[in-house]
Copies of this chain bind each other. A is one copy, B any other.
Amino acid sequence: MAKNIFESSDAVRTAQPLRHAQSVTLNGPLLLESGGTLPSVTVAFETYGKLNEAGDNAILICHAISGDSHVARHNAEDDSGWWDILVGPGRPVDTNRFFVICPNLLGGCRGTTGPGSINPETGKPYGPDFPTTTIGDMVEVERRLLDHLGVGQLVAVVGGSVGGHQTLTWATRHPGRLRGAVVLASSPRLTSQALAFDVVGRNAIRRDPHYHGGQYYDKPHGPGVGLALARMIGHITYLSPEAMSQKFEADRLHPRDVAIEFEKTFSVGSYLGHQGTKFVERFDANSYITLSLAMDLFDLGGTPEQLAASFSHAQCRWLVLSFSSDWLFQPRQSRDIVNALIRNNAAVSYCDIESNCGHDAFLLPDDFDRYGEMVRAFIQNLAPVPHPPGVEKDEQHGRTSIFHEHRLDYDRIVELIPPGASVLDLGCGTGSLLARLKHRGPGRLVGVELDERKILGALQRDLNVIHADLNEGLRAFADKQFDCVVLSQTLPAVKDVEGVIAEMLRVGATGIVSFPNLAFHKLRRILAEEGRAPRAYGWFKNQWHDTADIRFLSIADFESFCAEKKFHIQRRIALNTETGQEITTDANRNADLAIFVLGHNPHEKP
């Protein structure tokens, strides 16, 4: 019935560099981690912008499994690149300012040595004799290329998916060689599910009768059906279920008019058949096996301890981004990376971008207005252009603030924290408090924030900020990792109050908690005399039915709570923020804001 269209195909079977690619043959043989050796390695790559004299304005871009060296267009007439949104003049990776290098991967089929290349020992393509290649081997080739190009320390390595695996490897293997690592939609190793899809894809290729044990280059037909099946499976995993529905539900039973030798009953089937067919025209099956196996073998560890050990030598700053609907490289896997880096006191920022686009999100424009700006801010702050100093403007907490123009509580909290102390700020917003502490002098400062937009703000202030929900705990942080943990004006939003405060005191030597006082005399009067719920207990804006706050407490409530739970109060500051005065008499009636310093009581009885 179905004719094999690949029988007459002009499919690329051997390594063909792209139009703008340069190529260089590296000095000497390459010893691989598998024990094998490649006597000679050629790398195809493209560059953008100019390397400065110091050789320190370079950014390395690492591509994913089916990518190539053409990361961006070189001019307006050029073919589009696979990451034009990120790389180019004025883009977050700004080619006006940086020298950008994108090499084709070792084992690939776009100019860099791979299974389709001629084995100098036999004069024939390597085919199945191409040795097992790891992400580490790819990075070693990239490193030699940079040496060849005269690049010293990189500003950053940037990569998504398998490109992220390379970026992680750069940071752990060559810690002195990069100032920053931008890791998108990646993982410390594949999930068993992702690995399973790869296995099925490789089985489809290897069990295609035209695979001929991998030596199909001189045969009339290659394993096109198997490679197309592998690509179809891959394509499903790159899209979110929601994105697939949006793409294919409207014309579910109306397949697109494409010339394919696969099932065309359903719209989604015609799409997959088309993608599979097209892929065979530009990709080599042995390269697909080689690269997917390298990805599957990549493994920085399966436990927090192993991961922390893997990252123990890393020195760079990190921006880790995941995408909420990515089920191939799941957000929780990025969090595993981030948690290990946190454990090592590395300078890391993280955000899980709310996205509908699945794994492909990092390549698509849909969510780029948010994560692209994060990459821009992070790279800006890595680059050696001095950051203009200045007094940071205070943040206005519309929701919970009971302050008029100035965050009086920040003044007091900054006074309470010794210079140089390490500080974790829970619910840090755009980082107003941390920026003040940073302005005062060096010290390890980390913020935790739930709101994506505020995270961007904190990144723009050159702070380290972690996207996390306090109510899910502080498991990422080690015991006594900080001198001080701050919960400023965030207590009203906390679900598990006891749990969060206990975690603060596990993670920090001291904890600072500030909150508005429900028993302030003006608030008491509202309930007692007017019979009304004190409006947001801060007499601004929000009412009982539209406040986001869920905890309302007085100074007396908090003191009683601490006594009951054996949280030791080291110090209490009660303020009337209307007058700016500290309250010493009948604070529970006269203060509208309280700041508590909590710590461990050495004399506490069990």
* 24 A-B pairs whose Cβ atoms sit less than 8 Å apart in the complex: A191-B245, A192-B244, A193-B239, A193-B241, A195-B248, A195-B252, A195-B269, A199-B269, A203-B262, A203-B263, A204-B204, A207-B225, A207-B229, A233-B233, A265-B293, A327-B327, A498-B545, A498-B546, A518-B527, A519-B527, A524-B528, A524-B531, A531-B589, A533-B557
- Is A200 part of the binding interface, using a Cβ–Cβ cutoff of 8 Å? yes
Known A1-B128, A252-B302; 12 more pairs at CB < 8 Å: A192-B241, A192-B245, A192-B248, A193-B239, A195-B266, A199-B232, A203-B273, A265-B293, A519-B532, A530-B556, A544-B553, A545-B553
Alpha-carbon distance A532/B268, docked complex (angstroms): 61
Residue from B1, B248, B266 in contact with A213 in the complex, judged by beta carbons closer than 8 Å:
B1
Known: A241-B330, A272-B196, A551-B545. A557 touches B528 (CB 8 A): no
- Is A209 part of the binding interface, using a Cβ–Cβ cutoff of 8 Å? yes
Q: What distance in Å separates the Cβ of A320 from its nearest Cβ neighbour in chain B?
A: 20
- Is A588 part of the binding interface, using a Cβ–Cβ cutoff of 8 Å? yes
Interface hits, A249-277 → B, CB 8 Å: 249, 252, 261-263, 265-269, 272-273
Hey, which chain B residues are within 8 Å of A268, CB to CB? 192, 195-196, 199
Contact with B along A266-302 (1 / 0, CB 8 A): 1111001100000000000000000001001001001
Q: What distance in Å separates the Cβ of A532 from its nearest Cβ neighbour in chain B?
A: 5
- Is A335 part of the binding interface, using a Cβ–Cβ cutoff of 8 Å? no
- Is A217 part of the binding interface, using a Cβ–Cβ cutoff of 8 Å? no
- The answer to whether B191 touches A244, judged by C-beta atoms less than 8 angstroms apart, is yes
Hey, which chain B residues are within 8 Å of A83, CB to CB? none
- Is A368 part of the binding interface, using a Cβ–Cβ cutoff of 8 Å? no
Classify chain A: how many residues form its interface, as a range.
35 or more
Known: A273-B203, A497-B545. A196 touches B236 (CB 8 A): yes
- Is A561 part of the binding interface, using a Cβ–Cβ cutoff of 8 Å? yes
The 10 residue pairs across chains A and B that have the minimum distance between CB atoms:
A519-B531, A528-B528, A497-B545, A199-B269, A192-B248, A192-B244, A550-B550, A531-B588, A1-B213, A193-B241
- Is A370 part of the binding interface, using a Cβ–Cβ cutoff of 8 Å? no
Known: A241-B327, A244-B192, A524-B531. A236 touches B197 (CB 8 A): yes
Contact with B along A544-579 (1 / 0, CB 8 A): 111000111111110011000000000000000000
- Is A506 part of the binding interface, using a Cβ–Cβ cutoff of 8 Å? no
- Is A475 part of the binding interface, using a Cβ–Cβ cutoff of 8 Å? no
Hey, which chain B residues are within 8 Å of A293, CB to CB? 265
- Is A343 part of the binding interface, using a Cβ–Cβ cutoff of 8 Å? no
Closest to A202 in B: B263
Alpha-carbon distance A528/B265, docked complex (angstroms): 72
Interface hits, A566-606 → B, CB 8 Å: 588-589
Q: What distance in Å separates the Cβ of A449 from its nearest Cβ neighbour in chain B?
A: 21
Alpha-carbon distance A524/B529, docked complex (angstroms): 9
Alpha-carbon distance A191/B249, docked complex (angstroms): 8
Residue from B532, B554, B555 in contact with A554 in the complex, judged by beta carbons closer than 8 Å:
B532
- Is A206 part of the binding interface, using a Cβ–Cβ cutoff of 8 Å? yes
- Is A148 part of the binding interface, using a Cβ–Cβ cutoff of 8 Å? no
Known: A193-B244, A266-B296. A552 touches B544 (CB 8 A): yes
Alpha-carbon distance A560/B128, docked complex (angstroms): 78
- The answer to whether A203 touches B191, judged by C-beta atoms less than 8 angstroms apart, is no
Alpha-carbon distance A327/B263, docked complex (angstroms): 24
Q: What distance in Å separates the Cβ of A302 from its nearest Cβ neighbour in chain B?
A: 6
- Is A247 part of the binding interface, using a Cβ–Cβ cutoff of 8 Å? yes
Q: What distance in Å separates the Cβ of A323 from its nearest Cβ neighbour in chain B?
A: 16
Alpha-carbon distance A488/B533, docked complex (angstroms): 20
- Is A385 part of the binding interface, using a Cβ–Cβ cutoff of 8 Å? no
Q: What distance in Å separates the Cβ of A447 from its nearest Cβ neighbour in chain B?
A: 24
- Is A54 part of the binding interface, using a Cβ–Cβ cutoff of 8 Å? no
Closest to A526 in B: B527
Hey, which chain B residues are within 8 Å of A272, CB to CB? 196, 199-200
